[in-house]
Structure 1
């Protein structure tokens, strides 16, 4: 199992709009690609020097190959929409994780 983790710091001025977009549009549309089986959104409990609130969304997929297919077919459009809507009020970085074991 591969986890595609997107960590985002969102500025207070667009926080509520971003949260609605994430929960009701972005995450459902990303899951609708069929490349991810689930998603979990969590709040990062650290205070950032730059301000804002930081969240992590973890999308679960079956393989690195499926994730690569997402990058090739879908990622650009999703990233462009976020950039268009929130611009420099949103700072995101992505991490790929491989599940080793559950306990």
Structure 2
């Protein structure tokens, strides 16, 4: 299993609106692309460094790196642009890829 991990730093003033949008619009759109088997969202409870705002981690689970690469090239740019247009610098995302090991 491959995990597409998106860590987002969200300004406090938009947290409620951002979370509603993620749950009701963005994550369903990502899942509707058909590239992922499941998804989860987490709120980071502790930080090693102090910063303003809150941090969320969204994880999307793909069967293979090849499937994830298809998402990254075909669907991700438009979805990222929608997010940037809606929240700009108030919700900054960092993406990473993880592989499940047994």
3-state SS, counterpart of residue 13 of structure 2: helix
Partner of 1:12: 12
TM-score, reference length from structure 2: 0.94
Aligned to 2:59: 58
**How far, CA to CA, are the matches of 2:79 and 2:51 in structure 1?**
25
1:37-92 deviation per Cα after TM superposition (whole angstroms, max 9, x unaligned): 10010111124533101010110000000011001110101110111010110111
**C-alpha RMSD over aligned residues:** 1.0
Q: Which runs of no fewer than 5 residues in structure 1 stay unpaired?
A: none
- Residues in 2 aligned to 1:94 and 1:71: alpha-carbon distance in whole angstroms: 11
Structure 1 counterpart of 2:27: 27
- 1:100 alignment counterpart: 101
Q: In the aligned structure 2, how far is the partner of 1:78 from the partner of 1:29?
A: 8
Partner Cα distance (1:14, 1:78) in 2:
19
**Which stretches in structure 2 are left out of the alignment for 5+ residues?**
none
